[in-house]
Structure 1
Amino acid sequence: MDVKPILIKIAIISSILSPELSYSSSDLLRDNIDTTTQENSSINIVGTSKDKTELDNIRNKILSTSRYSFVGNFSEGLAAVERNDKYGFINTDGKEVVPLQYDLIGIGGFKRGLIAVQKNHKWGFINNSGQEVVELKYQDTWSFEEDITGVKKDDKWGFIDTNGEVFVPFQYEHAGYFAGGLVPVSKNNKHGYIDDTGQTVIELQYDWAYVFNEGLAGIEIDGKAGFINTMGQVVIPLIYDSAWAFSEGLAPVKKDGKWGYINTEGNVVIPFKYDYADIFSMGVGIVKLNGEELRVNRQGQIVD
């Protein structure tokens, strides 16, 4: 396979942050702060005339701001914000409840009341009060998709619970994130799956294993890729050079140097003719052909 997306970093901040949304509490606590509500409106304007933020308190959205470089979507009442390469969190009133002190934050917002944060190259977790629940001491981590999550320490992956207690010892070379109750792990260069109790449910036998999505996961043996179900049964033969995850019922796969799309039954839906193909999102797949990036619908038609 061309890339191993199982290890996409949790710290890709651009996944959750938008330059059009943002703000901070040290600013909110300054003198001459103007906090008003427009008549017959849910819109609050917080800050000074030169440095202010418009908030929609009903929809929990930030409409505009000049305070931050980035701000994320609200999650469990908080939104991530960034200024001068430091990240913190604000609440729906625009108050900074977690100071801007972290170098990176986890994608996807709070999960089970926690979010991953990084400082001085070490990861841990805080709750939505800003309290450090899991000490910042790990090399890497995933978010809490289940009640346990993978963390990396001394170049080995293990799993901790939401209190920071080690649930599965540090023994794996790689670990993904939970999806469908299973997570891919590897040991001695062989990949398989464990469940949320730490039990091995699909033996470590593959050269590579991806996370489950829509009930199927891509696996690779001897340079060929196919798909298995959660029972470990091969449901789409290993006949592809590369394969990405299923999304909206389709998966991009590569065969004989060209990409196309198959459905969950293994039938070719969009022919193999592209130089690259990405997963579907909102009814559209991004493909490349002769150096040009295009968008295709589920019928393989080019769309604007």
Structure 2
Amino acid sequence: MGACSWFRVALFVLAFTNGATAQDMPSELTPVGKAVLQAEIAAKDRSESGKPVDSPLAACTFPGGLCGAVWRDGSVAVPPRYDWVGSFSEKRAAVRSGGLYGFVDDEGREVVTPQYSLVDDYKFGFAQVEVGGKSGLIDRDGKTIFAPTYGFIEAIGPDRFRVSDLRQRGGTIGAEDFSGIRTTYTSNSVSVSAPFEFKTNGVIDLSGQWIEPAAPPSREFDKTSPSVRWVERGGLWGLLQADGSWLVEPKFQRAEALSDGLARVTLSSKVGFIDGTGKFAIEPVFDTAWPFRLGVGRTSAERDGSFGVIDKSGSWIFQTSHQQIYLAIARNEGSSEVPYGWHFKQADHWGLLDLDGRTVLDAAFDQPVQHCEDKRLIAYKNKQWLYFTEGGNPLQPPGSRLIDATCGAAPPYTLQTGDTFQLVDARLQPIAPMQFEAVVRIGRDARNAKVDGKWGRIRSDGSWLVEPRFDYLSTNPDPFVASIDGKRGVMKSDGTWLIEPKFDAVRIRQDDTAFVTTAGATGILRLNDQSWVMQPRPGVMCDIGIALMSQAGGKRVILSPAGEVWVDADAERVGINLDFGLLTFLRNGKWGLVDTAGHVLVEPQYDEPVYFAPRDRGIAWAKRDGKWCPIDRRNHAIPGIACSDANPAPSLAPRFECKIEP
């Protein structure tokens, strides 16, 4: 039996061996869910200037981890029985169950049973649905209005519908949408792509008759004159005039708008440029070429393996043996673009040429060279930032490096020479004679500094704000944590104690409280009167959004802000995204799922964390025996979505660590 088949059989069996199912749970938000709802409403109120929430809000924080929707007061509008609930539009919301989509209304009635592979939101009383790779439209009651025979169809009015032969699927694997914008994740990055082709659109009425017959794809040629446009015919692009005659017959595989007077085109897989009359200014002889930019008068190009820069006649200004070359552009505060040379790549390292091709910085850096508004150049090499003048001369003296002179940073800067640090001005001249063993910037006007093994705090002129007599200083501006003889206290910015040193660890929070640890137990203390918000409990504690994480004896528990146990799965690790509704947790080397009421719904059985992120529309990718396979919130396999050797939707967040001090 294959790995994917075995995976699906195992899930089927597990669905009947996990005890209580999600359907058996009460349909009321958990305490976690109520807190998540209030935080969501507060965020919406801030972002929408107090505009009331007049539609139910999707929620998955019910006992059992299924999704429904609730009103602002927490009362249930849609009972929790789905893997995913979308946003409401025209009193309808898309829902997903077992990989298929339907619709509910704002009173919880299922107006369209989940049956479609993809749906869109309602617009003007109609929703786009997909069947067998084709799109149709249904009305508010789920009745088919247009059979699924189109590549794309959407309502643009009560009796007007835009249609296209081109399929417009976007989104991610297993969580597609009709945007046409595809998102792809890897283990450390995310990329977004849109199709190069433009939709062939027409407009029909409710009877299917053409109101505006489909026209060939077209796009802008000259933004100053709409009378001539690029138009596609038979897969090739030409220039069509307003009277319907061709200025240039369709012959180009690719064609772009005029930029600095020339438009880049591709003919027989070679790149050239035409002018505003449609005539070649540069013959199509290049393998690649970048568009011309306004005011530069030159661009980078490649021909027969040789990279260089050409002028607007197509003549080489200079040629190189580099792997890659393209225009280096800086953006100033007014968002205008300022070219400052050419990035080039050689032996997989980056360097910089000036606009005439002279070397400013050799290819020795791990990424392209940046340009600051003050004309400094910044380059990255071996995990260190290096700084240069506009002409390429090092700003840091030999054997030294600047620590905090990034673009936009104001002096003084910190200069490191060997094991010592010093404050310097914009000309790299010492501000004060004092040298330090370490310096950490605290906002604009202060820094923590270490001398003779002790930390203090200095002003921008290098004078002491707080004398160096501490084992440790936190990076909080005011108040901050200070340690003497291994004990932490809380100090004001003027150097006087707010709380005398008596704790083993302290972390200041945003609400004038602090986590404090003593004798292996952590509690929450009010800074103003030193009273306990939460009495110490064994282990450490940290914030996770609207809740707290407590960690002791190798186990993690999620607590309410008042210290009540919200989720305890006897777990070594547990997910912190409470709004997901189902949290991944680790026990004895395997991962399972627990809801926000603390019920273990899927016993540990997977090899990697399992995340029901909202972006994935009610599916999660679970790894078992080397395969990543999609599951729903009931731990069932999703039909029609193939397993994968790699995770199609990895989490890009770093591993969460719960600790009091860095």
Bin for the TM-score computed over the shorter chain = 0.5 to 0.7
1:303 aligns with 2:612: yes
CA gap of 1:273–1:81, structure 2 versus 1, over 3 A, is farther
Q: In the alignment, residue 420 of structure 2 is paired with which amino acid? A: K
Q: Residues 126 and 255 (structure 1 numbering): CA distance in 2 closer, same or farther, change over 3 Å?
A: same
Distance 1:295 1:118 in 2: 49
Aligned to 1:176: 474
Say if 1:90 and 1:104 are closer, same or farther in 2 by CA, change over 3 A: closer
TM-score calculated relative to the size of structure 1: 0.63
- SS state of the match for residue 197, structure 1? coil
| 2:494 paired with 1:194 | no
Q: Highest Rg: 1 or 2? A: 2
| 1:252 and 2:549 correspond | yes
Matched residue type, 2:517:
E
Q: 1:176 to 1:52 in 2, by over 3 A?
A: farther
Shift in Å at residue 298 of structure 1?
8.7
Task: Tell whether 2:498 aligns with 1:205.
Answer: no
Q: Distance in 1 between matches of 2:369 and 2:524?
A: 34
Distance in 2 (alpha carbons) for counterparts of 1:297 and 1:126:
54
Per the alignment, do residues 112 and 86 of structure 1 end up closer, same or farther by CA in structure 2, a change over 3 Å counting? closer
**1:16-31 counterparts in 2 under 5 A?**
none
How far apart, in 2, do the equivalents of 1:161 and 1:222 lie?
Answer: 35
Distance (whole Å) between structure 2 residues aligned to residue 292 and residue 107 of structure 1: 45
The 1:126/1:202 distance shift into structure 2, 3 A limit, reads: same
Asked if the contact 2:386–2:401 (Cα under 8 Å) also holds between the matched residues in 1, the reply is: no
Structure 1 residue 199: Cα displacement: 1.6
Q: Kindly provide the amino acid, as one letter, of the partner of residue 419 in structure 2.
A: H
Q: Deviations over 1:92-149 (max 9, x none)?
A: x897774486457359987664454433122334456655546682222321236333
| Residue 387 (structure 2) pairs with residue 89 (structure 1) | yes
Does the CA-based 8 Å contact 1:118-1:124 persist in structure 2?
Answer: yes
Deviations 1:231-258 (A, max 9, x none): 23321221131123x3533343214531
Does residue 140 of structure 1 match 2:435? no
* CA–CA distance in structure 2, aligned partners of residues 210 and 133 of structure 1: 32
Structure 1: which 5+ residue stretches go unaligned? 1-17, 20-35
Give the superposition deviation at 1:302.
3.1
Summarize the alignment of residues 52-67 of structure 1 with structure 2, pairs less than 5 Å apart. 54-55=328-329, 57=331, 58=335, 66-67=349-350
Percent sequence identity over matched residues? 14
| Preserved contact between residue 554 and residue 572 of structure 2 (Cα < 8 Å) | yes
Distance 2:595 2:433 in 1: 45
Q: Secondary structure at the match of 1:303?
A: coil
Native 8 Å contact 1:105 1:116 kept in 2: yes
Name the SS for the 2:568 alignment partner.
Answer: strand
Unaligned runs of 5+ in 2: 1-187, 190-289, 301-308, 310-319, 338-342, 351-364, 599-609, 614-662
> CA deviation digits over 1:64-114, x for unaligned, max 9?
9742225899999778532256532369x8977744864573599876644
Match of 1:39 in 2: 293
Instruction: Please point out which of 455, 458, 462 is paired with 1:164.
Output: 462
Question: 1:89 & 1:210 partners in 2: Cα distance?
Answer: 35
Number of residue pairs aligned between Structure 1 and Structure 2: 265
Higher percent of residues as strand: 1
With over 3 angstroms needed to count, the CA separation of the structure-2 counterparts of 1:150 and 1:94, relative to structure 1, is same
Q: CA deviation at 1:288?
A: 5.2
Q: CA deviation at 1:173?
A: 1.4
The one-letter code of the counterpart of 1:233 is S
Cα distance change of structure 1 residues 255 and 182 upon mapping to structure 2, 3 Å threshold: same
> In the TM superposition, what whole-angstrom CA distance separates every residue of 1:38-77 from its partner, at most 9, and x where no partner exists?
42599x98x97557574452399xx997422258999997
Distance 2:524 2:557 in 1: 15
- CA distance in structure 1 between the aligned counterparts of 2:527 and 2:386, rounded to whole angstroms: 38
C-alpha RMSD of matched pairs (Å)? 5.1
Partners of 1:287 and 1:94 in 2: CA distance? 54
